[in-house]
């Protein structure tokens, strides 16, 4: 990247400040560099907000809660619809910030930003459909009403792979429910969040209802352990999720989406071209940096060789380049991902696997890169066969029986999403029901849609986002028992 183009991208970066009670404030001395993964250039530097700054944001959310929770769902819906409109009007600058800091192709970043707007619209409508119940009583003259009320003050810690969309799932549902919120975005991708929060006031979000704090470990720990939260929502790694659980100041509601090593099963009855296309999309979209990315593929032995040949050709044809050039695959976001990809491939090869495509970091590109990679005959106990790579690497393993495929797919601690390609209806239902995952996509690569619940099992977390379940994650039940007669 030339010096002039570096200056032009830096000029797009918003000032890295916290938004607290409707005011932009400093989070402290800038100390955390935000790097463009396509070329290694520093884009901006943000503070790691100290506990005092996080406390100020939580106090602002607590002060704003009584007024916000007393608004009607229809009033909140109007605000969310205006926010959706504001996001669509600012789509290109938001998308460019995602690509500059995270690396994904600009077309995917535009799609992510559009989905953010859709989330605001969806929860605006879902918020007015929160219904209670009237429960019969044995005693005459008594009525029981079950109603749903806002949880209260929410802390949200969000990741870098979908820096706006994953904020939106939490922010939209929390606001629709009548909660207030403090969001800490990833230190790798803070700028799109800063720009998003700059749209709130114009959409009519009252001061203090939604607050933003920037930072890394210091800010994250201070928010996760804050004693005045009523709920914590987290998306990230299993190790960080476990650490957060141990750090909670008291017993509060939590929802955690912790990712997972997602399997794909391809039976002999499958349409191989569909299965290959699905794997190429879900395994390599966003450079494989998706919680529901296909990581390990189990293919029935009769069609194993044909599947691998087709997948190798499809992956070798993927274009690779800087996200602003809109290739199929951009850089990985940081060196940790790049090095993990290399370690997983090296371990698999040492155990007898064969690299069929990619398998290395391109030497002619600056920044953090790993080539789209297919590895065949991957042992199930290898790193690639048992752990989440979270990069553009897919491992393939042949199997003989459905029981073997199910055992391999279920054989890790992951339980977020699984994929099944089969045309035999018996296989579709028997295997589909046996997979121990919160989301199972059959003959398609999309395990989540906005109006259906999305969440994991086992080590992939608990709680739901999307759907009415995603809204109810920010509501609590009250039983109101009223005696009105003799």
- Residue ranges of the chain with per-residue pLDDT less than 50: 1-7
The half-sphere exposure of 55 on its side-chain side, counting CA atoms within 13 A, is 4
231, containing H or E segment: strand 231-235
Where do the DSSP E strands lie in 253-390? 253-257, 262-266, 294-300, 354-357, 373-376
Query: What are the start and end residues of each CATH 3.40.309.10 domain in the chain?
Result: 262-449
Q: How far apart are CA 337 and CA 357, in angstroms?
A: 18
Are the C-beta atoms of residues 182 and 175 closer than 8 Å to each other?
A: no
Q: Which residue has the tokens 């790691």?
A: 48
At 65-87, the pLDDT tens digits run 999 999 999 999 999 999 999 99
Q: Please provide residue 64's backbone torsions phi and psi, each rounded to the nearest 5 degrees.
A: -85, -15
CATH 3.40.50.720 matches 3-258+460-479: no
pLDDT of residue 133: 96
**Residue 279 Cα distances to 172, 251, 276, angstroms:** 31, 40, 5
Catalytic residue among 101, 108, 257, 388: 257
439, containing H or E segment: strand 439-442
Q: Mark residue 281 as left, alpha or beta (left: phi above 0; alpha: psi -120 to 50; beta: remaining).
A: alpha
Query: What are the start and end residues of each CATH 3.40.605.10 domain in the chain?
Result: 3-258+460-479
Active site residue 29: no
pLDDT of residue 392: 98
pLDDT of residue 10: 75
Catalytic residue among 179, 262, 279, 291: 291
Active site residue 257: yes
CATH of domain 262-449: 3.40.309.10
pTM, 2 dp? 0.95
Cα angle value 362/365/366 (rounded, 5°): 125
428 token code pair: 């579709």
Contacts of 411 (CB under 8 A, 6+ apart): 380, 386
Angle, nearest 10°, between helix axes 165-177 and 73-89?
160
**Residue 365 Cα distances to 9, 371, 394, angstroms:** 19, 11, 22
Handedness of CA 478, 479, 485, 486 (dihedral sign): negative
């Amino acid at each position: 990247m030339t010096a002039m183009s570096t200056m032009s991208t830096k000029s797009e970066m918003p000032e890295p400040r916290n938004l607290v009670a409707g005011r932009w404030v400093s989070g402290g001395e800038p100390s955390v560099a935000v790097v463009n993964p396509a070329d290694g250039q520093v884009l901006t530097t943000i503070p790691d907000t100290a506990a005092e700054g996080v406390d100020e944001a939580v106090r602002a959310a607590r002060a704003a809660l009584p007024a916000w929770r007393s608004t009607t769902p229809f009033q909140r819906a109007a605000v969310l619809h205006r926010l959706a409109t504001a996001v669509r009007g600012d789509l290109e600058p938001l998308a460019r910030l995602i690509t500059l800091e995270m690396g994904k192709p600009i077309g995917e970043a535009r799609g992510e930003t559009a989905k953010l707007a859709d989330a605001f619209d969806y929860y605006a409508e879902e918020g007015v459909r929160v219904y209670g119940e009237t429960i019969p009583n044995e005693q005459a003259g008594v009525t029981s009403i079950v109603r749903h009320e806002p949880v209260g003050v929410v802390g949200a810690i969000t990741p870098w792979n979908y820096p706006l969309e994953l904020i939106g799932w939490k922010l939209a549902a929390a606001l629709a429910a009548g909660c207030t919120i403090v969001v800490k975005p990833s230190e790798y991708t803070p700028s799109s969040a800063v720009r998003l929060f700059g749209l709130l006031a114009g959409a009519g979000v009252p001061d203090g209802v939604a607050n933003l704090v920037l930072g890394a470990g210091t800010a994250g720990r201070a928010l996760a352990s804050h004693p005045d939260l009523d709920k914590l929502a987290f998306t990230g790694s299993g190790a960080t999720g476990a650490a957060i659980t141990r750090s909670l100041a008291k017993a509060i509601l939590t929802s955690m989406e912790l990712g997972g090593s997602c399997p794909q099963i391809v039976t002999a009855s499958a349409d191989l071209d569909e299965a290959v296309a699905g794997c190429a999309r879900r395994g390599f979209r966003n450079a494989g940096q998706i919680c529901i990315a296909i990581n390990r593929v189990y293919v029935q032995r009769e069609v194993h060789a044909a599947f691998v040949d087709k997948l190798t050709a499809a992956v070798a044809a993927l274009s690779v380049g800087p996200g602003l050039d809109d290739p199929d695959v951009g850089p990985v976001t940081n060196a940790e991902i790049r090095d993990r990809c290399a370690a997983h491939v090296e371990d698999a090869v040492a155990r007898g696997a064969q690299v069929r495509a990619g398998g290395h970091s391109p030497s002619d590109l600056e920044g953090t890169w790993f080539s789209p990679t297919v590895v065949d005959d991957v042992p199930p106990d290898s790193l690639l066969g048992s752990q989440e790579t979270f990069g553009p690497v897919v491992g393939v393993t042949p199997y003989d029986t459905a029981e073997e495929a199910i055992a391999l797919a279920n054989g890790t601690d992951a339980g977020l999403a699984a994929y099944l390609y089969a045309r035999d209806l018996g296989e579709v239902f028997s295997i589909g029901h046996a997979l121990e995952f919160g989301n199972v996509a059959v003959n398609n690569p999309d395990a989540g849609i906005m109006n259906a619940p999305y969440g994991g099992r086992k080590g992939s977390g608990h709680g739901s986002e999307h759907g009415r379940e995603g809204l109810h994650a920010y509501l609590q039940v009250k039983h109101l028992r009223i005696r009105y007669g003799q």
